[in-house]
Chain A
């Protein structure tokens, strides 16, 4: 039987939009302040360079924002495609929009379960469950918090769950793998 994880798409979208808007405001403010400082310290000559530099940087930031906005529907679609299933020996996770994947994780080989919450994810109350084996998927992990989202997509993971659901899923996986006594290597 396939399980449709209770993925919080609405919260995910709100989170993305908020982080985008606040990120935009913050970066524009920082740039503005730097330019003001440059102008104050260098006078007339600084004003010209500040205006040119400021406009260029502003365009770059807005372009980056547009790219993120365009990719947002695809991220939502990607989330909506994720299914998982507890089979007898394996936990299988399926997903993907055009390129599909199916990750089959043997309970006897799962090393540990990680629940991650980035800053914005905590503000909106969502967590990612990441399941790790000793395979190569474990190599992609970076502790950089801004990349938690990326990390969740690269690994056998079920992202954007409510905290309770994440805990429940973790308990379920840990219970399954507790039946296997070996080291899983």
Chain B
């Protein structure tokens, strides 16, 4: 039988979305820090005028580009090692490139299933399927990130059916 990830695979747009999110976050942070440093230079106008704005901006862009490439490669591997499957009684989700975490959730312990999108997900048309149990750890580990609309719907239906049956309804 095909595993769950083969039936409802992750979307190929996931790496680029995660990369963009990371790079955008970093660049906003760097810009804020940069502004802060510039403000501290303001009382010394001579120093400020000696700065080369074009050089600074191009350095910034070059660093962002390198970050983008590194992060993208990482995210491709992250996608490659992402694994989820359902056995008869439990859901298994495994992820991580350098470190690896695997969670085994029995269906009858699942509390609720919800599908959400953050702002970048909206742009790329991706969905996250969260499967929460009563522990805090489940919020970090038990979610399936970055599937397209049909797969998200199918996964939701599949899991709800399993959970409902296990809970005797």
Contact = CB atoms under 8 A, between A and B. Distances in A.
Interface of A: 110-119, 121-122, 130, 132-134, 138-139, 141-143, 145, 148, 170, 174, 177-178, 180-185
A143 B140 contact: yes
B105 A112 contact: yes
A141 B138 CA distance: 9
B98 A112 contact: no
Interface in B80-138: 89-90, 96, 98-106, 108-109, 111, 133-138
A115 B102 contact: yes
A181 B142 contact: no
A119 B101 contact: no
Nearest to A178: B89
A145 B140 contact: no
Contacts of A145: 96, 98-99
Interface of B: 89-90, 96, 98-106, 108-109, 111, 133-138, 140-142, 166-168
B56 to A, nearest CB: 14
Contacts of A181: 108, 166, 168
Contacts of A118: 99
B135 A138 contact: yes
Contact of B101 (A110, A115, A177): A115
> Could you tell me the dominant secondary structure of chain B's interface residues?
mixed
Contacts of B104: 112-115, 170, 174
A134 B134 contact: yes
B108 A112 contact: no
A116 B133 contact: no
B168 A116 contact: no
Contact of B136 (A113, A121, A138, A148): A138
A143 B105 CA distance: 17
B167 A183 contact: yes
10 contacts: A112-B138, A114-B101, A116-B101, A118-B99, A134-B135, A138-B134, A174-B106, A178-B106, A181-B108, A184-B108
